[in-house]
Structure 1
């Protein structure tokens, strides 16, 4: 007698793959990925000047100037509305205190880092930074390129020394303690801190905004200079800004384009998981043949996530276009891995608290 065949079972549907940021980024065009790694400069009195760049998807804007307008928040809100898919740019500026304050007329003036380090407790420093951050956030800013964690007791800032009074102390323990207090205050007020200038510009041979320069030796930084950055990473710093100086004994090229510095030390030895930012408009890079677009590719290849540059208002659009073209060209010819760019953008989006899977 023939056996009865088993009843047929309905096909089990294949599970829908879980959405991931990496999966979503794999569908982005190279142009879109490249744009998210770029921070464009703008005069804080007219932020609408970079509306086209924001509409094209740049990842950030940096405000320059010394007097912010009273309606800055409204201007930035309008600018953010131009961003594609609702992914607003990170809005950066430099509010360190003392000689470096971009919008003191709006957020209030604060003492220099050195003055704070010499006369205030960490609790007082944190309170000042929190008040500052609350006002910055109300004005539409989301990231402060501060505090300076360099260990420096010299005169400045000037053409010889980028630090000077921008440093909390020549004592690395004090610089670390007070720098972390400042960063904690910024975070409490809703602002991401980008600690700088990794791995430490204290006692550098020159100001890299003016001339090529070197830090003290790597062995010296290990014993006196790196601690504030290691402590900041341990305290979960949101972002680290990398210096444009070479590091004798570690890297023969500026730290900003050195995989040894960024991937080897910052990402590897210190296990930093946040955003890595660097500036490209510097004689230190130009002196060794790096245009801004070429430096952008080199910085991403080294492990940076965002690159910022300075240019006059009439040049911002063309420089931005050149950077995007340089990055996309490098990926297409195999000089820069696409997954490296995707990884950088993933860090950018994480800093913005953007969940791609929640977007339409």
Structure 2
């Protein structure tokens, strides 16, 4: 009735309320209906199914990766520009004097090692010293040394005589050991040294004359970890990078790897004792790690020294031992040319390539004699696809991070 309008025979009495209702009704009757959506051509009415190409999924915009930490970004910007330069940066060699060191660095070596045979003038001279090398080369490089205390301190006339680690742990508090290591670190830093291959994390109760003996802080892994952490903290306080050794444990190995093959207890026994200091130390004390030349039964290829054994590096990187965590710091080899445990098997260039392929970041040996040949061998292996370029670059980046400055402690 409302849609047909009022009858013409009589005039309705409109009230305000009625008028509003009429207008609303008229609006409803005259509004244009919303058009129905077009049917999806893929829908079949008869079967009630969709046919045709699937609707592509909505792909969110890619999330950019987080920015690299500042030390890593700075290290990446300072990587050598060539493949050969990256290869050479993974090598640290012992040097005789200024000229020998300059030769090594001009070949691109990432570091030099100060031995007992090195001319002291390289550390104490007014010129032709470490500072002069840095100016001549114009890039960061590591200057490394063995300074543990006791019978292992290279250049003791410069850096002094320290108690053996075992004596430190028996006669000093951890705070006193940290202060002693800081004093040593200050002397090292003033001479231009940046990396100390110490402290020893081996656990042993052997007599002082054995390969490790009193170089170990304690046969107890918790006490060894406590004092090694204190020594490492003192070095870092002075700006020196500590290197924990000898992974995965030399303390109970038979013999001395300087003179012969050495054998540790089986890997399960290492997990029970020798590996236990590494978990708490590497979790709380930034630094690098040195792998020794011990043969570890049950870990990787039988009879293969740890420095050449990929299973050893995998163990360290994964942290797959009691208290362990994945380790992404620099891994050094022990000396690859002057120790019979390796040199009786292969020459230095062969050992360098084998160690880097196995997972080392830095190949260490005590002479520049084979440096060019070693760089040639590794560079050729990268070109031939034997040594993955990604592995080379990752190691070079770790080395560069360390060379640009010590890790905060």
| TM-score tier after normalising by the smaller chain length | 0.7 to 0.9
User: Is the counterpart of residue 99 in structure 1 residue 156 in structure 2?
Assistant: no
State the partner residue of 1:58. Answer: 109
Measure the CA separation in 1 of the matches of 2:125 and 2:306: 34
How far the C-alpha of 1:108 sits from its partner, in A, is 2.3
How far the C-alpha of 1:266 sits from its partner, in A, is 3.5
User: Is the counterpart of residue 171 in structure 1 residue 227 in structure 2?
Assistant: no
Q: Is the 8 A contact 2:75 2:400 kept in 1?
A: no
Q: Is the 8 A contact 1:199 1:243 kept in 2?
A: yes
Q: Is the 8 A contact 2:79 2:400 kept in 1?
A: no
How far the C-alpha of 1:227 sits from its partner, in A, is 1.5
Question: CA deviation digits over 1:247-282, x for unaligned, max 9?
Answer: 112132111122211123344533111110013122
* Residue number among 58, 73, 92 corresponding to 1:39 in the alignment: 92
State the partner residue of 1:146. Answer: 198
Q: Is the 8 A contact 1:147 1:195 kept in 2?
A: yes
Alignment of 1:70-219 (within 5 A): 71-72=124-125, 74=127, 75-83=129-137, 86-157=138-209, 161-219=210-268
Measure the CA separation in 2 of the matches of 1:242 and 1:309: 13
State the partner residue of 1:231. Answer: 280
Q: Is the 8 A contact 1:198 1:240 kept in 2?
A: yes
Measure the CA separation in 1 of the matches of 2:241 and 2:308: 23
State the partner residue of 1:305. Answer: 361
User: Is the counterpart of residue 295 in structure 1 residue 348 in structure 2?
Assistant: no
Q: Is the 8 A contact 1:280 1:307 kept in 2?
A: yes
Q: Is the 8 A contact 2:76 2:397 kept in 1?
A: no
2:143 aligned counterpart, secondary structure: strand
Contiguous gaps of at least 5 residues in structure 2: 1-66
2:375 aligned counterpart, secondary structure: helix
2:404 aligned counterpart, secondary structure: coil
Measure the CA separation in 2 of the matches of 1:39 and 1:116: 30
Measure the CA separation in 2 of the matches of 1:116 and 1:182: 10
Measure the CA separation in 2 of the matches of 1:105 and 1:124: 22
For the aligned residues, what is the CA RMSD?
A: 2.2
Distance 1:97 1:241, change over 3 A: same
Measure the CA separation in 2 of the matches of 1:228 and 1:274: 17
Distance 1:214 1:266, change over 3 A: farther
Measure the CA separation in 2 of the matches of 1:168 and 1:225: 13
Measure the CA separation in 2 of the matches of 1:319 and 1:92: 19
1:342 aligned counterpart, secondary structure: helix
Measure the CA separation in 2 of the matches of 1:26 and 1:174: 39
Measure the CA separation in 1 of the matches of 2:232 and 2:80: 36
2:299 aligned counterpart, secondary structure: coil
Normalising to structure 1: TM-score of the pair?
Answer: 0.84
Contiguous gaps of at least 5 residues in structure 1: 1-17, 355-360
State the partner residue of 2:35. Answer: none
1:193 aligned counterpart, secondary structure: strand
Question: CA deviation digits over 1:15-71, x for unaligned, max 9?
Answer: xxx99579758983221111100101013xx23322122122210000011783462
